[in-house]
Amino acid sequence: MRELNEYIYFRDNEAGIQREWWFCRVCEDWFLAERHTVTHEVLRTWLPVLPAPQEALAESGDA
Amino acid sequence: MRLPPRDGERIDRDDPIEFSFSGKPVMGFRGDTIGSALFASGRRVFSRSFKYHRPRGLQCCNGHCANCQMTVDGIPNVRVCTEPVRAGAVVNGQNFLGSLDRDLMRATDRFGGPFTPPGFYYKTFIRPRRMWPLYEKILRNAAGLGKLDEQGARSERVEVEHRHVGVVVIGGGQAGLEAAIEAAERGESVIVVDEGPEVGGSLLADRDGVATARGLESRARAAGVELLAPAIAIGLFEQNLVPVAAGNTLLKIRAHRVVVAAGVVEQPLVFPGNDLIGVMLPEGVRRLVNYWSIKPGSRAVVLTADDRGLAAASDLEAAGVEIAELVDFRKRQPPNIEASGRRDRVHQVGIHGKWIGCDLVVMSGSPQPNYKLLAQAGARVEYDTARGIFVPTDLPPHVEAVGGTAGDVGEPAVPAPVLGHRGEKCFVCFCEDQTTKDLKYAIAEGFDSIELSKRYTTVTMGPCQGRLCHVNSIRVYAKANGVDENTIGTTTARPPYAPVSMGLAASRPQEPAKRTSLHHRHKDLGGKMMWTGAWRRPHSYSDDPGDEAQHVHEALGLIDVSTLGKLLVTGPEAGTFLDRLYPNRFSDLKVGRIRYGVLTTDSGRIMDDGTVARLDDETFYVTTTSTGADGVYQWFTWWNAVWQMEVELANLTGALAAVNVAGPNARTVMERVSHDDFSNEGLTYLDARHVRVAGVPTLALRIGFVGELGYELHFPSPHAEHVWDTLLERGVDLGARPFGLEPQRILRLEKGHVIVSQDTDSESNLLEAAMPWIFKADKDDFVGKWATEQVAERGLKWMLAGFESPTGRIPLEGGQIVVGGKSSGRVTSARRSAELGKVIGLAIVPVGLAVEGGRFDVVIDGKPVEMRVHLGPFFDPEGARLKA
């Protein structure tokens, strides 16, 4: 149960650079972004590519 | 009162405008504001102060101070000094008992002093404790500014509009307009926002400033600058997001670059009697004279720390006002200055013991750079001891400051604030009636940090948002504590920069209502339209939804279900993809067959439901709930982005219309409008088939949400009216009639069919929503499997169960279930069914009660009423009608 809760609910609340999923409501594409959560500066963005990077799965936080 | 016509005046004397104040007519001219017209008509008392109900008059004339707040056309707290006159406006004073000129609450000023120190609520009026409710009632009535007209509720539309530009310039004074012109001439797109009724800023106070302002304005327009006024930038957020309040629109402007040209805020001087009527800031006086051609007094004393007071003195002399005394603090600083009043107006000024008679005082403290927006954006501010002002430094990237805001204010010499006072009160914060004595009192009580003191005394927290009291309060604090101003520091600058109406804060983004392609048919047929999320849908077509439902049981009904989400999932891995998303299996679904599906989140919570039809080996047609369509599409596309499977997704929600044809006569009408095989063998229950209906290529799904023989027809939206009309016409002798959402809710409840988010909530899981059959525990992993297994392991606590109401009383949806005197669950749906002759419903009950014959009480009108559990469908449990 504890593991499950950690998987579902717990996210690192990084004060710094964080990798996030973003959804473009215009073109309806999902993309990844590296964003500084303090300055809100977006460092880079990229489309997910084959094969799925394992760390992306692990960091499936909300945009 | 008006001066003879002058060059550069803003008013048009040929265009008089009449409005009313306190029920009496007042004349102004085009170009006047309500404030200037009232002043010209002889009015000097404009408001009553917050706590002491002291009379207050015009002070700044540019919207900074709160002295002229009145109720205009039912809207309270309008600053009338910047509100243009309009014919027929109904203007009234506020915050008084009696009249604006004779306010009975004034007693708090004369006698209430010792009882109203900072925090008096919690000191004087707290004992005896039992009296607090009475005190509270009185205090609540006395507190607050203005009154909302609760009867005459206004209905206004407020919208959010998004804009993207190269440069947004905040402030349309000289510096702002020049920066805008320069940027526009370089080819950048530029918006200038200004809080005044027109751009020009403090130029508008100059004798020939209007001409200069108009010149800059036309150059700006010629260069392609967009000028917005009145429009208030209420904040400056990260990534240069500038929300702007412009009438009934909240603009959200994103700019590559922000130029803050918000000018300065003229600061009052802190001396006894500084709030008396007739004590004004230099720009206020100059606007009255130069802009509206009004003589503000006959004999003036000018107290100034900079050139602003000198300019005012020169303008006053030109208007025939005698300057009785001019104190330029850069040359001399008399040790004490005080003003005294007679009949609420300033009557004389004492300068180091020498009293000078006057009816006007111009006070000019240091002009404070208007840095609030910069500070919000993360700039630091530093106190410049020599000039007595806070100057912004360390601006964030892509944010610039120009003009007065940047600290370009000359070399003022501001005298130290007076701390002790007898005689007249010595105000630091006019809005909240806080005197230097109050601040000293707070410091003595231990509130020696500016942030704590602000909360305790409420200094800077009034409607001027600290514009006229922030600097002075810090200077008073510094002097009283014997430290410098940088040690005291400033309080955090928070949005909004200016008061924003609640309506604007709540304004909705431009998300128009969604209408199906049959919208006008529903209206023509008498459909009573209702909101369901963003959709407009017919609730029913008659006053008796029960009768509409009955008609579906007996004959034939049509319901527009175009709002259903419709997704096409294609590709070699489409089946596997759905297997990973849904708790049940779809890879083994046969071509041409349909299966019900429920989506769960990672935490096993029910997210959405719908049907999945396999059209060919690699193509699945997925329907979702109406409100879940966008969310499910995003959910699917996101998992596809994560998994990178060989799957393509297309959202056909808007492209396809859908109509459910239901009732015992459904097959007959389908056979009339189509040449395809609609026999029970040709298109059996849960079959999906491409057919033609009224000549239109259609996907027919044989499903039965409403419990009768039914066909859900999906076809291109442009043909919706044609298909709908044909079905109604050809079925006329079969009793074809439309039915709305409410009859559909009755019909599905008879079948015990769940509506996601009506009968489930954010806590519902498959097992406790009575859908264990959908959970295939032997399947490979799927989203929500882990969590659902954990629910099974911990044991079930709740269960969604049907019930009947033996008394025939209908419980409210959301009604409390009571077991043994304790709240234990709730009713999620309840309706009267004419078909069954009973009141039926669904409820989330403790799992132990979810057995045939279980009983529980629901509170109706405060009293428990017994309900009996019924498991399974209420109507046609074998589904014989569906499969007929």
Question: Tell me: the pLDDT tens digits for B110-121?
Answer: 766 666 667 666
Within a 10 A sphere around the Cβ of A51, how many other Cβ atoms? 8
pLDDT band at A63 (very low <50, low <70, confident <90, very high): very low
Yes or no, beta carbons of B642 and A4 under 8 Å apart: no
To probe the interface with A, which of B638, B646, B649, B765 has the most A CB atoms within 10 Å? B638
Q: Cβ distance B276 to B344 under 8 Å?
A: yes
Within a 10 A sphere around the Cβ of B773, how many other Cβ atoms? 10
Token couple for B675: 């040449």
Portion 771-810 of B in contact with A at CB < 8 A: 786-787, 790, 794
Report pLDDT for B75: 87
Yes or no, beta carbons of B634 and A1 under 8 Å apart: no
Q: What SS3 string covers B259-288? A: EECCCEEECCCCCCCCCCECEECHHHHHHH
What are the pLDDT digits (tens) for B800-819?
A: 999 999 999 999 999 999 98
Query: Looking at the DSSP assignment, which residues form a beta bridge with residue B382?
Result: B391
- What is the Cα–Cα distance from B304 to B325, expressed in whole angstroms? 11
Residue bearing the bigger pLDDT, B698 or B7: B698
Residues 6+ apart with CB under 8 A from B820: none
Yes or no, beta carbons of B238 and A52 under 8 Å apart: no
B792: nearest CA partner in chain A: A1
3-state DSSP helix/strand/coil % of chain A, to nearest 5: 20, 30, 50
Please determine, for residue B230, whether its predicted confidence score (pLDDT) is greater than 70: yes
Report pLDDT for B116: 67
Question: Which chain A residues touch B if contact means CB-CB below 8 Å?
Answer: 1, 4, 7-9, 21, 23, 28-30, 39-40, 48-52, 56-57, 60
- What is the Cα–Cα distance from B816 to B839, expressed in whole angstroms? 17
- What is the Cα–Cα distance from B839 to B33, expressed in whole angstroms? 64
Yes or no, beta carbons of B644 and A51 under 8 Å apart: yes
Any long-range contacts for B308-311 (C-beta under 8 Å, 24+ apart)? B308/B266, B308/B282, B308/B283, B308/B364, B308/B367, B309/B282, B309/B362, B309/B363, B309/B364, B311/B206, B311/B282, B311/B286
What are the pLDDT digits (tens) for B481-536?
A: 888 888 888 888 888 888 888 888 887 766 678 999 999 999 999 999 999 888 99
Which residue of A4, A9, A40 is in closest CB contact with B786? A4
**Total H helices, total E strands in chain B:** 21, 47
Which residue of A7, A9, A56 is in closest CB contact with B642? A56
- What is the Cα–Cα distance from B884 to B644, expressed in whole angstroms? 43
Q: How far is B259 from chain A (nearest CA, A)?
A: 19
Q: What is the β-pairing status of strands A42-46 and A30-36?
A: antiparallel
Contacts of A20 in chain B (CB under 8 A): none
Q: How far is B791 from chain A (nearest CA, A)?
A: 10
Sheet bearing B299-304, strands edge to edge: B279-280, B360-364, B299-304, B322-328
- What is the Cα–Cα distance from B100 to B77, expressed in whole angstroms? 14
Token couple for B161: 């509009």
Contacts of A1 in chain B (CB under 8 A): 790, 794
Q: How far is B811 from chain A (nearest CA, A)?
A: 36
Yes or no, beta carbons of A30 and B651 under 8 Å apart: no
| Strands annotated E in B602-730 | 606-616, 619-624, 648-651, 656-662, 688-693, 696-701, 710-716
What are the pLDDT digits (tens) for B250-292?
A: 999 999 999 999 999 999 999 999 999 999 999 999 999 999 9
Please determine, for residue B740, whether its predicted confidence score (pLDDT) is greater than 70: yes
Mean predicted confidence (pLDDT) in B716-738? 97
By three-state DSSP, how is residue B452 classified?
helix
Yes or no, beta carbons of A8 and B603 under 8 Å apart: yes
Report pLDDT for B131: 75
Between A and B, how many residue pairs show a Cβ–Cβ distance under 8 A? 38
Mean predicted confidence (pLDDT) in B432-444? 89
Q: Is the peptide bond before B463 cis (omega within 30 degrees of 0)?
A: no
What are the pLDDT digits (tens) for B280-324?
A: 999 999 999 999 999 999 999 999 999 999 999 999 999 999 999
**Any idea which residue has 């489930």 for tokens?**
B760
Yes or no, beta carbons of A4 and B794 under 8 Å apart: no
Closest CA to B826 of B851, B863, B801: B801
Q: Cβ distance B116 to B432 under 8 Å?
A: no
Query: Looking at the DSSP assignment, which residues form a beta bridge with residue B368?
Result: B265
- Neighbour-count burial of A36, counting CB atoms closer than 10 A to its CB (0-12 exposed, 13-18 middle, 19+ buried): middle
Please determine, for residue B549, whether its predicted confidence score (pLDDT) is greater than 60: yes
Q: Cβ distance B487 to B462 under 8 Å?
A: no
Contacts of B602 in chain A (CB under 8 A): 7-8
In chain B, the percentage of residues whose pLDDT exceeds 70 is: 96
- What is the Cα–Cα distance from B396 to B374, expressed in whole angstroms? 8
What are the pLDDT digits (tens) for B666-701?
A: 999 999 999 999 999 999 999 999 999 999 999 999
Yes or no, beta carbons of A52 and B642 under 8 Å apart: yes
- What is the Cα–Cα distance from B320 to B297, expressed in whole angstroms? 9
Report pLDDT for B509: 67
Which one-letter amino acid corresponds to residue B64? H
Contacts of B238 in chain A (CB under 8 A): 39-40
Report pLDDT for B123: 67
Report pLDDT for B121: 62
Contacts of B651 in chain A (CB under 8 A): 28
In chain B, the percentage of residues whose pLDDT exceeds 90 is: 73
Backbone CA torsion sign across B7, B12, B16, B17: negative
- Neighbour-count burial of B223, counting CB atoms closer than 10 A to its CB (0-12 exposed, 13-18 middle, 19+ buried): middle
Please determine, for residue B753, whether its predicted confidence score (pLDDT) is greater than 50: yes
Q: What is the β-pairing status of strands B556-560 and B565-570?
A: unpaired
Q: How far is CA B798 from the centre of its chain?
A: 37
To probe the interface with A, which of B164, B642, B651, B763 has the most A CB atoms within 10 Å? B642
Report pLDDT for A56: 47
Please determine, for residue A49, whether its predicted confidence score (pLDDT) is greater than 50: yes
- What is the Cα–Cα distance from B619 to B593, expressed in whole angstroms? 12
Report pLDDT for B120: 67
Token couple for B179: 């920066």
Residue bearing the bigger pLDDT, B120 or B77: B77
Please determine, for residue B386, whether its predicted confidence score (pLDDT) is greater than 50: yes
B784: nearest CA partner in chain A: A8
Q: Cβ distance B828 to B754 under 8 Å?
A: no
> B487 CB near a chain A CB, below 8 Å?
no
Is residue A22 within a helix (H) or strand (E), and if so which, with residue range?
A: strand A17-23
Yes or no, beta carbons of B644 and A28 under 8 Å apart: no
Residue B77 dihedral angles phi and psi, to the nearest 5°: 60, 40
Please determine, for residue A45, whether its predicted confidence score (pLDDT) is greater than 60: yes
Residues 6+ apart with CB under 8 A from B217: B177, B198, B199, B200, B227
Which one-letter amino acid corresponds to residue B71? T
Mean predicted confidence (pLDDT) in B19-39? 96
A42: nearest CA partner in chain B: B239
Mean pLDDT for all residues in chain B: 92
> B238 CB near a chain A CB, below 8 Å?
yes
Reported ipTM: the value is: 0.84
DSSP B556-614: EEEEE-TTSEEEEEESTTHHHHHHHHSSS--TTPPTTBEEEEEEE-TT-BEEEEEEEEE
Q: How far apart are the first and last CA of chain B?
A: 91
pLDDT band at B126 (very low <50, low <70, confident <90, very high): low
What are the pLDDT digits (tens) for B130-161?
A: 777 777 777 766 666 777 777 766 677 888 89
Q: How far is B577 from chain A (nearest CA, A)?
A: 15
Q: How far is A43 from chain B (nearest CA, A)?
A: 13
